[in-house]
Amino acid sequence: MRPAIKYQAIFKNKDAYSISFLCTFFEVSRSGYYKWLRQKDKPDRDLTLGKLIQECQQKT
């Protein structure tokens, strides 16, 4: 299972169980979970750059 899927499961269950327990259960690091948590709401930089490139190509 991909780490992002595991992180989503941890996020959904964080009120019922401790983050530490969930990270151990899913065999992911707490630091990895918190890094994912900080980045999950940020727009995907590659996606944004891809859209910008497409717009520039359409203008030419």
**Confidence category of residue 30, pLDDT binned at 50, 70, 90:** very high
Domain range enclosing 18: 3-59
The answer to whether 23 touches 33, Cβ cutoff 8 Å, is yes
Instruction: Give the pLDDT of residue 43.
Output: 67
Q: What average pLDDT score do residues 32-36 get?
A: 96
Would the pTM of this model clear 0.95, i.e. be above it?
Answer: no
Q: What average pLDDT score do residues 40-48 get?
A: 71
Two tokens at 42?
Answer: 């940020």
In eight-state DSSP terms, residue 2 is -
Two tokens at 38?
Answer: 């900080």
**Confidence category of residue 53, pLDDT binned at 50, 70, 90:** confident
Q: What is the DSSP string of 2-49?
A: -HHHHHHHHHHHTTTS-HHHHHHHHT--HHHHHHHHHHTTSPPHHHHH
Number of folded domains that form the chain: 1
Instruction: Give the pLDDT of residue 45.
Output: 66
